[in-house]
Amino acid sequence: MKITDKELVKLADDARGRSYCPYSNYSVGAALLTKDGKVYTGANIEVSSHTPTMCAERVAFARAVHEGRRDFVAIAVVGGPRGQDVDFLCPPCGVCRQVMSEFCKGDFKIILTDGKEHRVLTLDEILPYRFGLDV
Ligand code: THU
């Protein structure tokens, strides 16, 4: 059965509850969808020295790629102050955009929410003129 954008956002929001974010108190969840309908979730994991902190999106990509998946069609990202309902979009950071570009084509969908409406963007829109080596 085909998963809807709304269902993917719900899975990202559930994953957000498993964020570890004692430093920023900003929790983010992500739900990454493969072509055949499997979903890999992630949430941000912070580290006191900051640099090793992992964004929700990259946790989801790492879980999926490690399981041999590289056929992604969409990711939902939901973020905001910990313990509160979201009311702003949480667009992926630049590093996560580059990671998306490693595994996804320009039509890869990024689904964001402000808690009321969804906003659907493509990788081409959020990371034009991206660097990449054709391997
Ligand atoms: N964060 C994400 O998980 N994804 C993003 O795309 C933006 C930022 C996390 C990293 C950090 O734990 C917290 O949000 C505040 O920057």
Predicted confidence (pLDDT) per residue in 24-54, tens digit: 999 999 999 999 999 999 999 999 999 999 9
How far is Cα 105 from Cα 29, in angstroms, rounded to an integer? 22
Predicted confidence (pLDDT) per residue in 51-100, tens digit: 999 999 999 999 999 999 999 999 999 999 999 999 999 999 999 999 99
Q: Is 57 a catalytic residue?
A: yes
| Share in percent of the chain as helix, strand, coil (round to 5) | 25, 25, 45
pLDDT category at 1 given cuts 50, 70, 90 is confident
Instruction: Say which of 57, 67, 102, 117 is annotated catalytic.
Output: 57
Name residues contacting ligand 1 (CB within 6 A): 21, 24, 26, 28, 44, 46, 53, 55-57, 92-93, 96
Pairing, β 109-113 against β 72-81: parallel
Question: What pTM was estimated for this model as a whole?
Answer: 0.97
Mutate to test the pocket of ligand 1, among 26, 54, 99, 111 (most ligand atoms within 8 A of CB): 26
CB 110 within 8 A of CB 97: no
Phi then psi for 86, rounded to 5 degrees?
-75, 145
